[in-house]
Amino acid sequence: MQRFLKEPVYILGPCSAESREQVLLTARLLREACGELPFIFRAGVWKARTRPSTFQGAGEEALDWLQEVQRTYGLPVATEVATPEHIEAACRAHIDYLWIGARTSANPIAVQELADALSQQSFRPKGVLIKNPVHDDPKLWLGNIERLEKTGIPVMAIHRGCNHQPCWSMAHMVRLSRPDIPMLLDPSHMSGDASKVPALMGKIGELGLDGAMIEVHCNPKGALSDNAQQITPTCLRDSLDSILSRLCLVSLICPSKDQEELHWLRAEIDELDDLLWETIAKRMDVSRRIGEWKKANLIRPLQPQRYQQILSQRQKWAEENNIDADFVTQLFDIIHQQSLKQQL
């Protein structure tokens, strides 16, 4: 089945609607920065924040500001919904697109309630977008897509990663299971870091994704939520320019779906290497702390018995996972030697 989109979808705007002025200024700057490029303006009105002492969003009043963006700039608008009451309010305000955030996406009961509420509205949004759950669970993400599809409203998926890291393996599985569902990239929540957003945007073309949701703020440093990851409209413009030219390049050098598959698999390898690297760095850190303990307790760094124990346990894992035992021995020899160095 073909995905229903003809053009990539860009959903751009601040993490939160903070004030009427901030919303309208960001919309104007984005309109100017994007030129002819069509986009949907986003702003969160009800924010699912980790700590209760932080900004929780401006609430229903901010829906008026989004309507003003629709009227003034002719832009379709999107906001996040987390409860049936949010859906009722957003539909009353004729918000064009609704998205379901990663925290809500982790709870299938909540998603079902939202799907039921959506089905009951007389106003039909143009689309409903579902982020991946905060944890790596492709089946839950797929299940949420299925729940929302029953509303008859077009559904799109958003890959926003887990713990400020991409989760390409999860996205790849969803992509393979549901090639008919458009998938957008959210490089902002995926990295939590504005400086990483432009490079991540390059993945849109490489992986044949259908667009992106990107947090853009008129004054990122002063933002009341997610201030480390929002970019300026100018930075967005520059990044789009470079990815649009890259997209042309990719379509020249990567015309087939097979090539796309290779890029997905390579993204998975990069993700795993990142994890390996992070794990090795953490392991060295723990080794140093063990070294301090050994020094304080007058124990030598090398404890042959302990190393034998480690090695035979790891070789057992190798056997269970069909990995060559010699390879595992060599690998742990290198790791162990380096760990000992940390303790000298």
- Whichever of 115 and 223 has its CB closer to ligand PEP, that residue is 223
CA atoms within 13 A on the CB side of 34: 21
**Contact flags string 276-315 toward ligand PEP, x per CB under 6 A:** ----------------------------------------
> Does residue 172 bind ligand PEP (CB under 6 A)?
no
> What is d(CA 260, CA 333) in angstroms, rounded to the nearest whole number?
37
> Does residue 100 bind Mn ion (CB under 5 A)?
no
Nearest-approach distance from CB 102 to ligand PEP, in angstroms: 4
Out of 15, 27, 114, 148, point to the residue binding ligand PEP (CB under 6 A).
Answer: 15
Say how many residues touch Mn ion, by CB under 5 A. 2
Q: Which residues of 242-265 are buried (b: 16+ CB within 10 A; e: fewer)?
A: ebeeebeebeeebeeeeebeebbe
- Whichever of 17 and 181 has its CB closer to ligand PEP, that residue is 17
By the 10 Å C-beta count (0-12 exposed, 13-18 middle, 19+ buried), 292 is classed as exposed
> What is d(CA 56, CA 185) in angstroms, rounded to the nearest whole number?
24
The DSSP secondary-structure symbol of 52 reads: T
H/E stretch holding 11 = strand 9-13
102: partner contacted, choices ligand PEP, Mn ion, none (Cβ within 5-8 A by kind): ligand PEP
Question: Which tokens hold the place of 341?
Answer: 């160095």
- Whichever of 209 and 328 has its CB closer to ligand PEP, that residue is 209
Cβ neighbours of residue 37 closer than 8 Å, sequence gap 6 or more: 10, 240
Out of 18, 80, 226, 268, point to the residue binding Mn ion (CB under 5 A).
Answer: 226
User: What would the DSSP string read from start to end of 182-242?
Assistant: -EEE-HHHHHS-GGGHHHHHTHHHHTT--EEEEEB-SSGGG-SS-TTT-B-HHHHHHHHHH
> Does residue 159 bind ligand PEP (CB under 6 A)?
no
> Does residue 189 bind ligand PEP (CB under 6 A)?
yes
Which region among 82-90, 98-106, 120-128, 247-255 touches ligand PEP (by CB under 6 A)? 98-106
101: partner contacted, choices Mn ion, ligand PEP, none (Cβ within 5-8 A by kind): ligand PEP
Residues of the shown chain interacting with ligand PEP in the complex, contacts defined by CB under 6 A: 15, 44, 80, 101-103, 131, 160, 189
